[in-house]
Amino acid sequence: MKSNKTICVVGLGYIGLPTGALLANRGYQVHGVDVVQSTVDTINEGNIHIVEPELDTFVRSAVNSGNLKADIKPKESDVFIIAVPTPFHEGYVPNIDYVVSATKAIAPYIKAGNIVILESTSPVGTTDKINEVLQECGVDVNNIFVAHCPERVLPGHIMRELVENDRIVGGVTPAATDATVEFYETFVSGNVLKTDAKTAEMAKLTENSYRDVNIAFANELSILCDKFEINAWELISLANRHPRVNILQPGAGVGGHCIAVDPWFIVHKGGDDAKIIRAAREVNNYKTEWSIEKIKNAALEFKNKNKRDAVVACMGLAFKPDIDDLREAPAVYITKTLISAGIEIIAVEPNLVTHKEFDIVNEEIAIDKADIIVYLVGHKEFKGIRIFGKEVIDFCGITSKLK
Ligand SMILES: NC(=O)c1ccc[n+]([C@@H]2O[C@H](COP(=O)([O-])OP(=O)(O)OC[C@H]3O[C@@H](n4cnc5c(N)ncnc54)[C@H](O)[C@@H]3O)[C@@H](O)[C@H]2O)c1
C-alpha cells in the first residue's frame, strides 16, 4: 500500500519509533528524526535500539520497503508528529524543553495545510505553546493544524495497542481537531474521540493520576494494616468481594516514567487545589520511605539478636512485575538507600543479567545467603519459593495466597 502523505516523526524512542514504523508499513512515507546519531544509524540499518515485541519486524520491513528513513534533521512533510520526552526538572517542575526544541527544529519545514501533532504526555497548555513557538518562528499558524493526541500504549503491547486503543484528539482549533482525527482514522481501529487541546492534555494526565490515587489508597491501607496487625492482601481481597469495590494492590511505592511523573504536571499547575493528586504522590513516595525504615529496623533487630550484621536480599529492582524497566523504580531507590546506610545487600532481578551498580544474583542463591528476604517486586520467578527459618518482609504480596 502506498500513500502520498508524508510524515515526519520527531523523537524515535518507545513511542515515536513504533508509530513511525507502523505508519510506514501502512504505506506512508515516514521521515524519522532523532537527535542521537547512533539511533538514526541503527534504524537506517533496519535494526532497533529499544526492546519491544514485534517492533524489529515492523522496522525491518519499513526500512526495506524504503518507506522509513531516519535522520538527525526534519524535512518537509504533510504531518509532523512530536514524540520527545517530557520529564521534570528539580522540584517536580515540568520540563517541556524537548518539546520546544523539537518544535523549533520543525518550524522551517512547515507549510500551509500541514498538521502538527504533539503525542508526548504534556502539561496543560503545551499544545498552545507549540502554536506560539511556531508563530514566533515565522510560521503562519492560521493555515496549519496543531493538535494534541496523547499516547496511552502499554509497553510490551505497543504494536497492537497503537492500532486498537481509542484515541483522544484535541486541536487548538476545531478545524485542527477535525484534520487530525481524519489522519488517525486512517490507521486506528479504536474510536478517535474529539475534544480541545487542553482537555486532551488533561485527559492523559487524569488517566495516570487516577491510577496513582488508587494505588495510594492501597498503599495507605497496607501501612494501616501493618499497624493494626492485619494482612493487607487478605483485607483487600475480602473488601473487593463487595460488588462496587475494586481496590488495587499495594507495593513498595510507585515507579515508571508515567504514573510517578505525570500527576506532578497537574500539581504544578493546580497548586493548592490539587489536594488529592498531590497527597497520592506523597503517600506513594512515603510508602517507599516507610519500606526502607521497616527493612532497617529488621536489620537492627537481627544484629541485636545475633551479634552480627544482617545480609538483606532485595528481591526485584524493576518498577513493576515481569519487566526489566528500572525507570523511577522504588526498588532501585530502596536498594541504593540500604547500601548507603551500610547494610549489606544482595540484589536480585530475574529480568536483568547485569546492572552497572549492583551484582545481580540468582534468587535461590540470594535466599540461601541472606538473613532477611525482602520482596520488593512481585516477579513471577519469586512465586511459590518456600523459605524456612529466615525473616521475610513482603511489600508486594508475593507470599500471600489471597490476591
Ligand atoms: N513509553 C511509553 O510507554 C509511553 C506511553 C505513553 C506516553 N508516553 C510519552 O511519550 C513521550 C515520549 O516517550 P518515549 O517513551 O518514547 O521516550 P524515549 O526517551 O523512549 O524517546 C524519546 C526520543 O526522543 C529523542 N529526542 C529528544 N529530543 C529530541 C529532539 N529535540 N528532536 C528529536 N528527537 C529528540 C530522544 O533521543 C529519544 O530517542 C513522553 O512524553 C512520554 O511520557 C510514553
* Average pLDDT for 236-264: 96
For 260-317, the pLDDT digits (tens) are 999 999 999 999 999 999 999 999 999 999 999 999 999 999 999 999 999 999 999 9
83 in ligand 1 pocket by Cβ < 6 Å? Answer: yes
d(C-alpha 62, C-alpha 56), whole Å: 10
The percentage of residues in the chain with a pLDDT greater than 70, rounded to a whole number, is 99
* 370 C-alpha to ligand 1 centroid (Å): 39
The verdict on the CB of residue 162 being under 6 Å from ligand 1 is no
pLDDT at 3: 60
Atom of ligand 1 nearest to the CA of 49: 39
The reported pLDDT for the residue numbered 155 is 85
Catalytically annotated residues: 204, 258
Biggest CA–CA distance in the chain, Å, is 76
Mean pLDDT of 20-30: 97
Q: Which of 10, 12, 14, 204 to mutate to test the pocket of ligand 1 (most atoms within 8 A of CB)?
A: 14
The pLDDT of residue 323 is 87
- Which amino acid, 169? V
Q: Is the CB of 295 under 6 A from ligand 1?
A: no
pLDDT at 241 over 50: yes
Residue 402, pLDDT above cutoff 90: no
* Cβ of 270 below 6 Å from ligand 1: no
Model confidence at 4: pLDDT above 80:
no
Going from the Cα of 194 to the center of ligand 1, the distance in angstroms, rounded, reads 24
The average pLDDT across 126-148 equals: 98
d(CA 78, CA 29): 10
Name the band, by pLDDT with cuts 50, 70 and 90, for residue 401.
Answer: low
Mean pLDDT value across the chain: 96
Q: Give the pLDDT score at 403.
A: 45
pLDDT at 115: 98
Ligand 1, pocket-test mutation among 151, 201, 208, most atoms within 8 A of CB: 151
Q: What is the distance, to the nearest Å, from the Cα of residue 3 to the centroid of all Cα atoms in its chain?
A: 32
CA–CA distance, 157 with 120 (Å, rounded to integer): 18
| Contact indicator for 199, 150 with CB cutoff of 8 Å | no
Atom of ligand 1 nearest to the CA of 154: 3
Cell numbers of 178, please? 477535525
Q: Is the pLDDT of residue 72 over 70?
A: yes
Say yes or no: CB of residue 20 within 6 Å of ligand 1. Answer: no
Q: Is the CB of 156 under 6 A from ligand 1?
A: no
Residue 34 beta carbon below 6 angstroms from any ligand 1 atom:
yes
Q: Take residue 176 and report the three cell numbers written for it.
A: 485542527
Helix, strand or coil for residue 31? strand
Give the model confidence (pLDDT) of 157-187 as tens digits: 999 999 999 999 999 999 999 999 999 999 9
Q: Note the pLDDT of residue 177.
A: 98
DSSP 70-130: EESS----SEEEE-----EEGGGEE--HHHHHHHHHHGGG--TT-EEEE-S---TTHHHHH
Q: Are 274 and 267 in contact (CB under 8 A)?
A: yes
Write down the pTM of the prediction.
0.93
* Mean pLDDT, range 42-63, rounded to an integer: 95
pLDDT for 296 equals 98
Mean pLDDT calculated for residue range 70-82 = 98
CA of 82 to the centre of ligand 1 (A): 9
List, for residues 335-381, the tens digit of each pLDDT value.
999 999 999 999 999 999 999 999 999 999 999 999 999 999 999 99
What average pLDDT does range 113-120 have in this prediction?
98
pLDDT of residue 240: 98
Banded pLDDT at 400 (limits 50, 70, 90): confident
